[in-house]
Structure 1
Amino acid sequence: MITSNNMKASLTDIASIILNEFKTIAGSFAIVLVLMGGIFMYGILYNYMYAPDLVRNVPVVVVDNSKTGLSREYIRLLNATPQVDVIATGEDFPQAKELLKMNEAAGILYLPADFTDRVSRGDESVFIMYETTDAFLYYLAMQEASASSMLALNADYRPSMAVFLPAGDVAQLSATQPINVAGTALYNYTKGYGTYLIPAVLIVIMFQTLLMVIGMVSGDERQNRLLRYLRPSFSQAMRLVAGKTFVYLILYAVFAFFLLGLIPFIFDLPNIGNTWNIIMLLIPFLLSASFFGLAVSIFFTDSDAPLLMIAFFSVGLIFLSGVSYPLELMPWYWKLSHYLIPAAPATLAYVKLNSMGASMSEIHIEYITLWFQCAVYFILACFAYRYNIRKSKTSNI
């Protein structure tokens, strides 16, 4: 009977914690703003900025101070690329800048007067690019077009440069058979920037906003000593962690449906993964992220600190995930960080499932890592909240 009464009291306590957590979140304008802005507005705007995914025929002005056959050949090759469209070549630099200011051009390519002279001497040629920031993908388009044109020009003129090489090297080069390489980028055959980046960013958005919410709630609890009436026992801390985590799971189940279900459909992002596999991945991810946020809540002494500490970690989290930089090439300390922060293995696993069509067996390392993090961070979260309760009792008003 005592065990039954204790169980009933624990469930009642957890239900009360869940209700209070919902009230706290719904009653805080700052938290609601983070959730609505971070999940819905950020999710839509980020995709909208990369919505073209691939940029074609970017208007470019070429300032040709060389005015030689070689520079004209380079301009012809540049204009032949699908990425850019050379709209003018006779202007000087001030005129080109005016076209850029009037939004008639998105970039300027400057060829210096010694462009051909440097090539004739066997030196590296130099050209300068200027781009507007009206669209994030203009720079990528111009860089790809200019680089591919220069490689094509280099292939045409390389044989005539053999005169600058030692006789032994010329003999070796002439005996070498050329190799033609043809390849297709796996899982992103259009080489679109958005289809490569956005799926990873969606998981990072969920992780960051969840940490912000947890940090703001726990910071408010510490600041206003809202936990001072609770007993600083481990069982009480467990009930707090369980109740709070339940609230976050409910909220982020809805947010995950929007970010990982509707956003890929609206913006035509990669979405070839099995739905049930993604749900199975989200369970340990959301649990570990919630426990992680509750565990580090001891560092949030007020409700404003999380916004300053967490908002700027996006690039670092993408890097640690192994999506933008191979995990195998990372130093051991960054690789260790990958296994410590829930967003990193979850992001890599989601990209494998959703963009590459992997099975659960092919993400078993990331999946096991997330469940292991759940166990470790749950215990740490309980200790952290027992500390928070004690701190609320001993702090001065």
Structure 2
Amino acid sequence: MATKRNDNIFQLSLTELAFTIIFILLLLLGFVVFQEQKARKELEQELANSQSAERATDALVQARSQLREALVRAKALKPDEVISRLVASADVSAERDRYKAKVDDLDAKLTALEEIQKKVDSAADTSKSDVIKEEVLSSLALQSAVRKELEIAEPGKPVGPKDKATLLEQTKDALALSQALRKEVKAQLGKEATAGDTQKAMAEVIQNAKRFAELGQGGIKPELIRKENADLRGQVAFLKNRLDARGGRDYPPCWADESGKVEFLFAIELKDDSVVVTPAWPSKREADARALPDIQRTLEAPFAHSEFASRVQGVFGWSKKQDPECRHYVQLRSTISDAVRSDRARLVVENYFYKVEQRR
């Protein structure tokens, strides 16, 4: 029995393969036709543009020829020179319009200045008149400076209506800033700032603001620096007072005012069976006191004598970490009846604080 011939390739019949090839060829043919049509349209567009430019050139040449013939008929000696003069006259006309606009602008400014001068001259009070004149001159100088800045920023560009509105707003803002600065200089420094001093004062304000900002770049707030300086001045004054009195202690007080007077932290009362700790700090130290470690636990209800060390350990550790190391002062009062126990409790307090004892 004869073997049946296999006419399939890759599970496709020869007919299916032929249809697939024809379809691919049709796609390629369509792509080629599309590209040809696109190229043809681009060429047609370029041709239309060149024809339009050529027609415009022909029209100009024809107009020039007609003008030349007209000039020849009018017996002009040099037609080409006349045409060149006509072209130049168009440029001169545009320049004349620009100069006319500038003249109108200057005339409006002059009119405004005349009105200002009339108001200044009509002022009855001489001193007030001088002040008005100074303000006007300062305003005009400021306006001129701003206008120059605009010209520097965009050289060659005329100042348009929008730029004039911006210039007016900037001038108003500058005048308001100048008046506010003069007011603050008078209020804070007790000085009268003239027009010349305003710029100097502004420079000093900017310089001081820069220094203030530099202080905070290290992560330390200037307010904290000022507070620490006040504390250090108080400690120095306290130590100086102690040296002058030929006495003293190992560490300065953590809190003292600038005159060296000690500021207390706690009032501690020693009882037979408990210890009572209450605030004794001045009102200005409220935030500083509340920021101390374990302060709330220290101020809680009366606690046993054995808990005293653990309760005040946070505050004591804080004082040891200061630079220079310091100690807090407390007001101590003992109501313990037994003298020996009272002395022992007093010594425990002295391990952590400097005390000023209130006698019974």
**Category of TM-score, reference length = shorter chain:** under 0.3
Calculate the TM-score normalised by the size of structure 2: 0.22
Structure with higher Rg: it is 2
Identify the structure with bigger relative contact order (alpha carbons < 8 Å, sequence gap 6+).
Answer: 1
